Amino acid sequence: MMNRRRRTLLLLLFAIIFLSAITIAGAMLEERATLTDFTQKNLPPDRTHLFGTDFMGRDMFARTISGLSLSIRIGLLTALISTLIAFLLGTAAATLGKGVDATISWLIDLTMGIPHILLLILISFAVGKGFMGVLIGITLSHWMSLARIIRSEVMQLQHSGYIRVAEKLGVRKALIVQRHMLPHLMPQLMIGFVLLFPHAILHEASITFLGFGLSPEQPAIGIILAESMRYLTMGYWWLAALPGLMLIITVLLFNLAGKALVKLNNPASAHL
Amino acid sequence: MPLLKVENLSISFRQYTKAFQQTALIVVRALDLSINPGEMVAIVGSSGSGKSLLAHAILGILPYNASMAGRLYYDDKPLDKKRVETLRGKEIVLVPQGITYLDPLMKAGRQIHNGQRGKAAHQKTLSILSRYGLDEKTAERYPFELSGGMARRVLISSAVYSEPRLVIADEPTPGLHIQAARRVLGHFREMAEKDAGVLLITHDLELARQTCDRIVVFYAGYTIEEALARDFDQVETLRHPYTRALWQAMPQNRFSAEDGRQPAAHINPEGCIYAPRCKDASDLCRQSIPYQPLRGGYVRCIRKEHYDT
Amino acid sequence: MKHLIGFITKNLLRMVLLLLCVAIVTFALISISPIDPLSANVGQTALGSLSAEQIAKLEEYWGVGQPPVTRFVAWAKDFIRGDMGVSLLYRQNVSAIIGERLKNSLLLMTLAWLLSGILGFLLGIIAGARKGSLADKLIQGYCLTISSTPVFWLALILLLIFAVWLKWVPIGLSVPIGVEAADVTFLDRLRHAILPALTLSITGIANICLHTREKLIDVMNSDYVLFAKARGDKTGRIVRRHGIRNILLPAITLQFASISEIFGGSILVEQVFSYPGLGQAAVTAGLGSDVPLLLAITIISAAIVFAGNFTANVLYGVIDPRMRKGVKR
């Protein structure tokens, strides 16, 4: 029977397979992505060059896929670290008393007060451009919402009966978090992690596009699109349109996967 | 001629029983009921047994994942979706449970006259409020400024505003202390005396017995007995072993609560739903049990002659 | 009333303190940068055109050789007095640059803010009132797709379509080239702001629309809407009478709180359309290590964001009767 839950699960599987395929294919195409051929400059899409070629005769399909692969890998790393930060700070805010809670919520407000892109520019300015700058920037600017969610989840858990009992029995805080809270928080962390991806990927592309991120030698999507801008007036539409579309599909799949996880995790969707 | 007649009504929900399997969960089965003008009928069942859905089904406001089967008649004409849409809020009204049925951001007065403009609407609102012992300041209050009893009287005011012929009251008393609850039910009695039909859905048998004319007992999705209120004066006039057990459990009687609990609605053993707990159950109880008339009431029990004292 | 004044004062104080912290953090980030702003700028491109006197003045302003804390205090004192320093790239007072650019950006952002707010709210209501309908699915699909779309890519595509192919709008700049600034009419400004504002609106809709949809669905599932149905009200009347009443305030609040995102988007959009606003200046300042300008832009944008949050909080306190009458929610 094809009910909504099955469809949701299938979507999730499809997203995972598609995204893994891009990640692996992109890593393999990296060499081709930087291969120049000046006899094949600025060609519109055809059968040999699905996405056309750019001003140095590089194959745009190879560049796009390896750019996406790079994006996904950076997204994976930054989302992972952000989730970790969110978990640590969220749990700390909920368990270590009023002072810590106030400090952390202050920190969240502060970080959210500076527009994302501006914060990324500042961090890139502070630690320098390139991979490390992007990594630190994206990581430091994406943990806040999830930290808030984790904080309120932990607070709710603390009021539940069995954790109170454990506290009364004198079980250590760290042990309570590990044994009793982590299993309950795992779905939240998992969903938060998947939903961090789209933001991380889009912001990495944005900051690279502006010239504060990855270096021009790398076939990053932001670099590809920044280069395409110079050829826009000449009508070389494929340079901007096709890599951008692929990026949208990738991010959309992460968003759909996140939504699917939320749905499967939500008991309220029992009658969907 | 009955004002409202319900025949063989059943209500079911679609739900996941296993991770990826959907099934229909039947909450109300084969329900029969009738209400005459000027009569107050109670349907009594334990909390969470799905009897509120009966009110929603009559009014045609079941949630999207619920469906109903059976026949409804109002004024002897079929009450279909189209007809109930023209009648609800005018001839047929609902008095819901409590304060959550009031818009938290709208003043009470506007919720009573339901947005009608003009001085006449305002005057009528105030006069209804005063009938229920509420002053005119109440009309200017937001729901969060009302007490539980005040909120219930505001809800009743909104129901009588349209001078209805059929009033369906869904658990109007929980959370009220006994005097307030009696007063609220007294207001429904007044409506019945003005020739409206009142259907009271409640879990409180004692209150129902004191205020209603007839009582329908609801058990695990089935109506198992229909009795006159005075049949509850003594245990011998009751028709079903479950009703008798309920009688025993009433405070002024021996207070002997019985063993076991109601089966969940989706467990549907062939035969009598009460048999697993019934001390008089026999092999006969395994066949399907009809709802039959007995001594001016109805009973769903194959061994009814056993109780035909 | 007393309750309200206390509430507003508390929020105001919090905002000022947060702003101070933003200043400190920004200053700290810039201080640890390996790039030395003076040598990066003065030493290379601008050195020839700067007199020794000007360099000395810059060094004095920037407090070369002094500890960061002293520098921060000196900078903050000047900043509060309105002296934001001199831009190293534009060789103008930062306050003058910001004044001009803020005007351009505010036009752009206000247009986008209003357009996305109104459209998003309306679409959210349509989707939420008819949950599961074709309209709902289309609107949800749009929101999900657009929130997966990089705003600068959308800007590129719109630029390609409307400026390069159709030539309906100019390619860049908020004023026509060769026209004196004083002669530029508001209409000219508007013409150049249309495409960037449209880009920002198209992306800004998603957030407010999905939020409105969720809230309206909650309202439509509430007991009081069930009661309204039982009273014979049709969906349209229920949405107008109960829906909007209960979701408008949260939606306005969210729109005020989302100024940060519109600001972030404007940085990217201004860059693509070469629209001379704060965002473009921020990119230029960041790439060219123009520290005074970057600092000032960060503070100003944070101030705008906090003002938005502050407005959102106060709106709740003033409009919602539960808050107004001092009841804890």
How confident is the model at residue C297, as a pLDDT?
93
Q: Does residue C71 fall inside a structural domain? A: no
SS3 labels along B115-133: CCCCHHHHHHHHHHHHHCC
Q: Would an 8 Å CB–CB cutoff place A270 in contact with chain B?
A: yes
CA C281/CA C283 separation, integer angstroms = 5
Q: Would an 8 Å CB–CB cutoff place C49 in contact with chain A?
A: no
Question: Tokens representing B47?
Answer: 């909390």
Is B255:B237 a contact under the CB 8 Å cutoff? no
Q: Does residue C240 fall inside a structural domain? A: yes
Q: Would an 8 Å CB–CB cutoff place B14 in contact with chain A?
A: yes
Strand partners, B78: B73
- The H-or-E segment that residue B292 falls in is strand B292-294
More confident residue, C54 or A214: A214
Q: Would an 8 Å CB–CB cutoff place B16 in contact with chain A?
A: yes
Chains touching B, CB cut-off 8 Å, 3+ pairs: A, C
CA distance C242 to chain A (A): 24
The residue segments making up the domain with residue A223 are 4-27+59-267
The per-residue pLDDT of chain A, averaged, comes to: 85
CATH code: domain of residue C122: 1.10.3720.10
The residue segments making up the domain with residue C224 are 94-290
Give A 117-176 residues with CB within 8 A of chain C: 117-118, 121-128
Q: Does residue C159 fall inside a structural domain? A: yes
Give chain C's domain count: 1
CA B29/CA B33 separation, integer angstroms = 12
Which of A3, A6, A271 lies closest to B13 in CB terms? Answer: A271
pTM for this model (two decimals): 0.85
**Start-to-end CA span in chain C (Å):** 18
Q: Which residues contact B81 (CB under 8 A, 6 or more apart)?
A: B60
Q: What average pLDDT does this structure show over A84-106?
A: 91
CA C305/CA A99 separation, integer angstroms = 25
Q: Does residue A42 fall inside a structural domain? A: no
How confident is the model at residue B94, as a pLDDT?
93
How confident is the model at residue B292, as a pLDDT?
83
Which of A122, A240, A255 lies closest to C157 in CB terms? Answer: A240
Residue B75 DSSP label: T
Q: Does residue A214 fall inside a structural domain? A: yes
Q: Which residues contact A89 (CB under 8 A, 6 or more apart)?
A: A104, A107, A143, A147, A151
**Residue C257 dihedral angles phi and psi, to the nearest 5°:** -75, -15
Q: What is the ipTM of this complex?
A: 0.87
Per the CB < 8 Å rule, is C322 touching B96?
no
Is A3:B20 a contact under the CB 8 Å cutoff? yes
Question: Tokens representing C25?
Answer: 């953090």
pLDDT digits (tens, 9 = 90+) for A96-155: 888 999 999 989 988 888 888 999 999 988 888 888 889 999 999 999 999 999 998 888
CATH code: domain of residue A227: 1.10.3720.10
Q: Does residue C326 fall inside a structural domain? A: no
Helix (H, G, I), strand (E, B) or coil at C9: helix
Which candidate in B86, B103, B152 is best for mutational testing of the C interface (most C CBs within 10 A)? B103
Tell me the C-alpha to C-alpha distance, in Å, between residue B29 and each of B84, B260, B301, C221: 22, 22, 15, 25
Q: Please identify every stretch of chain C with a pLDDT value under 70, giving residue numbers as ranges.
A: 1, 35-52, 54-55, 57-65, 170-185, 326-329
Kind of pairing between the strands at B4-18 and B66-74: antiparallel
Q: Would an 8 Å CB–CB cutoff place A113 in contact with chain C?
A: yes
Q: Does residue A272 fall inside a structural domain? A: no
**Residue B293 dihedral angles phi and psi, to the nearest 5°:** -70, 145
Which of A118, A235, A244 lies closest to C301 in CB terms? Answer: A118
**Residue C150 dihedral angles phi and psi, to the nearest 5°:** -65, 130
Q: Does residue A229 fall inside a structural domain? A: yes
Q: Does residue C286 fall inside a structural domain? A: yes
Per the CB < 8 Å rule, is A1 touching B21?
yes
Sheet of B77-78, strands arranged across: B21-35, B4-18, B66-74, B77-78
- Dihedral sign from CA coordinates of B32, B37, B40, B46: positive
Helix (H, G, I), strand (E, B) or coil at C219: helix
How confident is the model at residue B256, as a pLDDT?
60
Q: Does residue A48 fall inside a structural domain? A: no
Q: Would an 8 Å CB–CB cutoff place B47 in contact with chain A?
A: no
Of residues C147, C120, C268, C200, the one with CA closest to residue A248: C147
Of residues B133, B203, B146, the one with CA closest to residue B170: B203
Of residues C8, C6, C23, the one with CA closest to residue C312: C8
Q: Does residue C102 fall inside a structural domain? A: yes
Q: Would an 8 Å CB–CB cutoff place C40 in contact with chain A?
A: no
The conformational region for residue C23 under phi > 0 = left, psi -120 to 50 = alpha, else beta, is alpha
CA A4 and chain centroid, separation: 26
Residue-by-residue pLDDT tens, chain B, 309 positions: 889 999 989 998 877 666 666 777 788 888 888 999 999 999 998 876 678 888 999 999 988 888 889 999 999 899 988 899 999 988 999 999 888 999 999 999 999 988 788 888 889 999 989 888 888 899 999 999 998 888 988 999 998 888 899 999 998 888 778 888 888 888 889 889 989 999 999 988 888 888 899 999 988 888 888 988 888 888 878 888 888 888 888 777 765 655 566 665 545 567 788 888 887 777 778 788 888 888 888 888 887 666 655
Residue type, B77: K
- The H-or-E segment that residue B198 falls in is strand B197-202
Q: Count of CB contacts below 8 A, A vs C? A: 142
Q: Which residues contact C73 (CB under 8 A, 6 or more apart)?
A: none
Strand partners, B33: B6
Position A268 pLDDT exceeds 70: no
Is C209:C139 a contact under the CB 8 Å cutoff? yes
Q: Does residue C318 fall inside a structural domain? A: no
Q: Does residue A210 fall inside a structural domain? A: yes
**Residue B298 dihedral angles phi and psi, to the nearest 5°:** -135, 155
**C227 neighbourhood in chain B, CB within 8 Å:** 94, 96, 101-102, 155
Q: Does residue C192 fall inside a structural domain? A: yes
Give chain A's domain count: 1
